Homo-oligomer: A and B are copies of this chain.
Amino acid sequence: MIVQKYGGTSVGSPERIKNVVRRVAKYKAQGHQIVVVVSAMSGETNRLIALAKEMQAQPDPRELDMVVSTGEQVTVGLVSMGLIQEGLKAKSYTGAQVKITTDSAFTKARILSIDEQNIRADLANGYVVVVAGFQGIDKDGNITTLGRGGSDTTGVAIAAALHADECQIYTDVDGVYTTDPRVVPEARRLKSITFEEMLEMASLGSKVLQIRSVEFAGKYKVKLRVLSSFEEEGDGTLITFEEDDKMEQAIISGIAFNRDEAKITVRGVPDKPGIAYQILGPVSEANVDVDMIIQNVGVDGSTDFSFTVHRNEFDKAMDILKNKVQNHIGARDVVGDNKTAKVSVVGVGMRSHVGIASKMFRTLAEEGINIQMISTSEIKISVVIDEKYLELAVRVLHKAFDLDQEPA
């Protein structure tokens, strides 16, 4: 039993939907039971949001979900028609019809449960079941949406509910790469990657899958596979929850990076409890997302506190710190730089291998690239550098860790 999820680009026109239909028919002919989860046709969600904004600058969330959820509903009907036209038995479902029960957080709802009985019965009767992604229904029968990219989560959740063998995510890339091929032409598609690595890669800018769907897949042990909907062949990248004997093969899986990082340092901060909250509280209240946070040990009762934000929110964050925080906490001053970038090496293998950090730092030093901030996790080392060195850093690290070579 396979769940296949197709994104908006893959179903962006009747012609492209026919490609999807052919692929589904091929799998069906191989004897698989298939559930297809689809997004709205590309552009459709934006069209609907634009209409809504003509009625209300800030559309009412319940009503916005009512409007936007029609995008996927149209696609499921069209895909079913295509399958029926090919001689298959097919049946479409809205999220409400499945039913996919969510909380009532309109526009960003979370799935609470899935009643998979109807789907299971249809599959047993030879139907291909086509389910609208991105949407559900709350306990009062209101239509909800899971927020942008939520169709991936729908696919994974249905695969989990059905105990499907695999959840295939079809997208416009053919898998997960060791890094962005536009920066490093030698970047190589990974045959497999662990969920943890995927989470680190995704949050760092390899925008292949929605993070929530990966978390969801990890939680319910759903095998995820990323594939291209535009290529006939290829096995894509399998995202596994088992490390297998992978540690013995590749130490580092990829180089992730984020170009839009801005760093801010509050200097001369009194080194006492509660200071981190006093600095970041006002920032987060202003809905500014914070990425890396660094605080070194203090000297003489004083320390420096640094963090990074998205470049677009740099001015807003600086303003809050200078006018609401600095004097209040008795900091010496606030300095920042919005011409920075973040580069990370990611790999579960580094857990058992010493020397990854030093190799990374040496590689950058040899190119004269100064490291401004460092942050590490179990399977990731991130550095903030001057943005002008970003491409160079990614290239030399990719080479240094032999990512252009298949693992032995």
User: A residues engaging B (CB < 8 A)?
Assistant: 14, 17-18, 48, 51-52, 54-56, 59-60, 62-64, 66-67, 69-70, 73-74, 76-78, 80-82, 84-85, 90-92, 94, 96-97, 141-143
Contact = CB atoms under 8 A, between A and B. Distances in A.
Contacts of A97: 141-143
Contacts of A63: 77-78, 80-81, 84, 90, 92
A81 B96 contact: no
| Dominant secondary structure at the A interface | helix
Contacts of A82: 55-56
Given A14-B54, A55-B14, A70 B81 contact: no
A78 B49 CA distance: 10
Most buried by B among A48, A76, A77: A77
A322 to B, nearest CB: 37
A313 B62 CA distance: 48
Contacts of A91: 62
Nearest to A80: B63
Contacts of A18: 55
A397 to B, nearest CB: 47
Contacts of A17: 55
A207 to B, nearest CB: 28
Pairs of residues from A and B, 8 with the lowest C-beta to C-beta distance, nearest first: A67-B77, A70-B70, A14-B54, A66-B77, A55-B81, A56-B81, A63-B80, A63-B77
Contacts of A96: 96
Contacts of A85: 55-56
A77 to B, nearest CB: 4
Nearest to A82: B55
Contacts of A64: 77, 81
A297 to B, nearest CB: 53
Contact of A52 (B48, B51, B81, B143): B81
Nearest to A13: B54
B80 A66 contact: yes
Nearest to A66: B77
Nearest to A65: B77
Given A55-B17, A63-B92, A96-B96, A74 B84 contact: no
12 contacts: A17-B55, A52-B78, A52-B81, A59-B81, A62-B91, A63-B78, A63-B80, A64-B77, A70-B74, A94-B143, A96-B96, A97-B143
Contacts of A90: 63
A70 B75 CA distance: 11
A21 to B, nearest CB: 8
Given A56-B82, A66-B76, 4 more contacts: A60-B81, A62-B91, A70-B70, A97-B142
A96 B82 CA distance: 25
A25 to B, nearest CB: 14
A80 B60 contact: yes
A136 to B, nearest CB: 14
A220 B54 CA distance: 38
A84 B60 contact: yes
Contacts of A59: 81
Contacts of A92: 62-63, 66
A295 B64 CA distance: 59
A394 to B, nearest CB: 43
Nearest to A130: B63
A78 B50 CA distance: 11
Nearest to A21: B55
Contacts of A54: 14
A96 B96 CA distance: 10
A24 to B, nearest CB: 13
Most buried by B among A56, A78, A81, A84: A81
